[in-house]
Amino acid sequence: MAASERRWHRKDTSRIGLLFGLILLALWLPRGLALDRFVTVDEPKWLLRSANFYNALVRGNLKDTFQREHPGVTITWAGTAGFLWRFPGYYKISPEQNMTPTRFQNFLSSHGRSSLDLLVAGRTFVVLGIVTALGAAFLVTYRLLGVLPALLAFLLISFDPFQVGL
């Protein structure tokens, strides 16, 4: 490779790196900011399911890791990661596997924990997963279609209200 080709390649790589950073920021901003501003109707149930999953997993009771008949596995794992981050000792003091939502809220409060803080912790891992997956998809799209189509597509994806909600 000639010197001029190496300079061009280095310049192109740094531009793509900058563009990739911009896309990651655009993907993160609408998803990563204000994770504590709202709670959807089913999130308290998923927080409890994540707590049950974490409890069963740590205790080696794999049968009780099953929480529901539909695929909420990624949400349960993200919630478990949130517990590991914000309340790692939960399994040591949790009284039972299947508390009611009200009893679970009271349990958290009695141990100085906020369900919203734990929910935000789990959401953080969901956002990291989404941004990572979409960032990787951007790189593939860039290689397949070029800079402009990839940039346009992922900026549209970044700020699509439906995707922001997820």
- Tens of pLDDT, residues 102-141: 889 999 999 999 999 999 999 999 999 999 999 999 999 9
Angle between helices 147-158 and 3-32 (to 10 degrees): 10
Distance CA 92, CA 135 (A): 37
Its sign, for the CA torsion 142, 161, 75, 72, is negative
pLDDT score, position 85: 97
- Secondary structure string (H, E, C) spanning 52-76: HHHHHHHHCCHHHHCCCCCCCHHHH
The torsion defined by the Cα of 138, 141, 147 and 153, in degrees rounded to 10, comes to -70
pLDDT at 8: 45
Q: What is the residue type of 143?
A: R
What residue ranges in 4-117 does DSSP mark as E strands?
none
Among 92-96, 97-101, 133-137, where is mean pLDDT lowest? 97-101
- Domain ranges in the chain? 39-165
pTM to 2 decimal places: 0.84
Compute CA 59 distance to the chain's CA centroid, rounded to the nearest angstrom: 24
Mean pLDDT of the residues in the chain: 86
